[in-house]
Structure 1
Amino acid sequence: MSDPILSLTGVRADIDQYHILHGVDLRVPKGELTVLLGRNGAGKSTTLRTIMGLTTVTGGQVRFRGEDITGQPTPRIARQGIAFVPESMGIFSLLTVRENMVLAAVSGPMDEQRLNWIFELFPPLKKFWNRPAGNLSGGQKQMLAIARAVIEPRELLLVDEPTKGLAPAIINDLADAFEQLKQQQVSILLVEQNFNFSRRLGQSVAVMNDGGVVYAGQMAELADDEDLQQELLGLGLGAHQ
């Protein structure tokens, strides 16, 4: 495993009166795609939100590129090179695709070369460039959400359940896009429930349960061990081929 670009050590977080994270230890290797798995309610989405400063850390430490970012404001975390695509996608439905992208390019005008690269990743965005984002299909909205996150160079991309509710053909298109992002050496932490998608893309994997990480290793090792899958997740990846 390469040196981590992101590390969480003993991270605890509460939402209202509820204790959600109970000492999360997590490493995201630089330049790799790490999948965060676990049953519903395990704390996966809260972990992403905590990294971004959207949920208050009550204990432990979050480090990015070796720097302590625990408790920093979300805009400052984003400016350091971390982008977040929430499960809700966070697009502006009444604005056009172009206007959504312009708002995401906070450093100034969009770079034409990078925009063309995004159009190669997600051709529908070019086709519907001047249409309201709310008129896009679910898969196209997810493409827009990811495109917004990478319109400026990012070192780390956090993505929460990108395939949820999408058709298999769209999921395959998203997988191709993530493969290209990996080739660009973008480090990615992906929360996902689709096991085939996870197995195809993931290099490293962490499994959460009850607010903590209970397993961390290589995705290939977990994918080859159905007994371990059953123990950690309650089902085997082989059932989803």
Structure 2
Amino acid sequence: MSEPILTLTGVHADIDQYHILHGIELQVPRGELTVLLGRNGAGKSTTLRTIMGLTKVPRGSVTFNGKEITSWSTSRIARAGIAFVPENMGIFGQLTVRENLVLAGTHGPLDQSRLDWLFDLFPPLKKFWDRPAGNLSGGQKQMLAIARAMVEPRDLLLVDEPTKGLAPAIIDDLATAFEELKAREVSILLVEQNFSFSRRLGQTVAVMNDGQVVHSGTMAELAQDSTLQQDLLGLGLGAHQ
């Protein structure tokens, strides 16, 4: 693995009276796509929210680009270079595609060359530029959500279940876009339940169970070990071609 851009050390997190994360140990290599796998309720989404400062950390530390960000506010974490695409996508349905992207920018007018790059990744965004985002299909909304996160250069992209509820053709388009991000060596931490999608994209992988990371390594190793897949996930990746 390459040098980590993000490290979680002994991270605990509570939501109301529930103790969700039980000493998370996780490293996200710089310039790679890391997939966070696990059964429902394992704590994957809470891990992303904790990294973004949306869930507080009573014990443990989160380090990003060599700086401890455990106690930072969400806005400060975002300004430091982490973008988050939540499961609900977080777009503004009453605003146009253009307005959604403008609002996501923090450094003045949008850079046209970067917009052109995003249009190449997600052609529907250019086609529906002046239409309300609420009128887009589910897949197009997901494209907009990722484009919002990447409308300015970011060091790390956190994405929570981008393929959920999408048709196979749209999932394939998303996979192609993520491959382009990988080619640009964007550091990505991806929570995903679609194992075929995960295997196609993932370079490194961490598997969670009951609020802890119980396995970490390369995706290639996990994809080749059906016994390990069964033990960790309850099914084989090969069943999801």
Q: Same fold (TM over 0.5)?
A: yes
Looking at structure 2, the residues matched to 142 and 108 of structure 1 have their Cα atoms a distance apart, in angstroms, of: 24
SS of the residue 1:57 aligns to:
coil
Looking at structure 2, the residues matched to 87 and 106 of structure 1 have their Cα atoms a distance apart, in angstroms, of: 23
Give the aligned partner of residue 57 of structure 1: 57
Give the aligned partner of residue 4 of structure 2: 4
Looking at structure 2, the residues matched to 51 and 71 of structure 1 have their Cα atoms a distance apart, in angstroms, of: 10
Looking at structure 1, the residues matched to 240 and 179 of structure 2 have their Cα atoms a distance apart, in angstroms, of: 21
**Shift of the alpha carbon at 1:16?**
0.4
**Shift of the alpha carbon at 1:47?**
0.1
Q: Which runs of 5+ in 1 are unaligned?
A: none
Looking at structure 1, the residues matched to 108 and 175 of structure 2 have their Cα atoms a distance apart, in angstroms, of: 29
**Shift of the alpha carbon at 1:106?**
1.4
Q: Which runs of 5+ in 2 are unaligned?
A: none
Looking at structure 2, the residues matched to 53 and 183 of structure 1 have their Cα atoms a distance apart, in angstroms, of: 28
Q: Determine whether 1:153 maps to 2:153.
A: yes
Give the aligned partner of residue 71 of structure 2: 71
Looking at structure 2, the residues matched to 186 and 238 of structure 1 have their Cα atoms a distance apart, in angstroms, of: 27
Looking at structure 1, the residues matched to 235 and 185 of structure 2 have their Cα atoms a distance apart, in angstroms, of: 32
**Shift of the alpha carbon at 1:43?**
0.2
Looking at structure 1, the residues matched to 39 and 58 of structure 2 have their Cα atoms a distance apart, in angstroms, of: 23
Looking at structure 2, the residues matched to 12 and 115 of structure 1 have their Cα atoms a distance apart, in angstroms, of: 38
Q: Identity of counterpart residues, as a percentage? A: 78
Give the aligned partner of residue 33 of structure 1: 33
Looking at structure 2, the residues matched to 108 and 185 of structure 1 have their Cα atoms a distance apart, in angstroms, of: 25
**Residue pairs, 1:17-32, within 5 angstroms:** 17-32=17-32
Give the aligned partner of residue 120 of structure 1: 120
Give the aligned partner of residue 82 of structure 2: 82
**Shift of the alpha carbon at 1:159?**
0.1
SS of the residue 1:176 aligns to:
helix
Give the aligned partner of residue 165 of structure 2: 165
Looking at structure 1, the residues matched to 153 and 108 of structure 2 have their Cα atoms a distance apart, in angstroms, of: 13
State the one-letter code of the partner of 1:35: V
SS of the residue 1:188 aligns to:
strand
Looking at structure 1, the residues matched to 46 and 196 of structure 2 have their Cα atoms a distance apart, in angstroms, of: 23
**Shift of the alpha carbon at 1:185?**
1.3
Q: Determine whether 1:110 maps to 2:78.
A: no
SS of the residue 1:10 aligns to:
strand
Looking at structure 1, the residues matched to 156 and 38 of structure 2 have their Cα atoms a distance apart, in angstroms, of: 21
TM-score of the two chains, using structure 1 as the length reference: 1.00
Q: Determine whether 1:174 maps to 2:184.
A: no
Looking at structure 2, the residues matched to 144 and 37 of structure 1 have their Cα atoms a distance apart, in angstroms, of: 24
Looking at structure 2, the residues matched to 189 and 25 of structure 1 have their Cα atoms a distance apart, in angstroms, of: 14
Give the aligned partner of residue 197 of structure 1: 197
**Shift of the alpha carbon at 1:212?**
0.4
Q: Determine whether 1:44 maps to 2:44.
A: yes
Q: Where has structure 1 moved over 2 Å in runs of 4 or more? A: none
Looking at structure 2, the residues matched to 93 and 106 of structure 1 have their Cα atoms a distance apart, in angstroms, of: 20
Describe the superposition over 1:177-197 as per-residue Cα deviations: whole angstroms up to 9, x where unpaired.
000111111100000000000
Looking at structure 2, the residues matched to 212 and 108 of structure 1 have their Cα atoms a distance apart, in angstroms, of: 40
SS of the residue 1:124 aligns to:
helix
TM-score of the two chains, using structure 2 as the length reference: 1.00
State the one-letter code of the partner of 1:195: F
SS of the residue 1:139 aligns to:
helix
Looking at structure 2, the residues matched to 97 and 106 of structure 1 have their Cα atoms a distance apart, in angstroms, of: 17
Describe the superposition over 1:97-147 as per-residue Cα deviations: whole angstroms up to 9, x where unpaired.
000000001111000000000000000000000000000000000000000
Looking at structure 2, the residues matched to 33 and 148 of structure 1 have their Cα atoms a distance apart, in angstroms, of: 19
Aligned residues between the structures: 241
Looking at structure 2, the residues matched to 199 and 239 of structure 1 have their Cα atoms a distance apart, in angstroms, of: 12
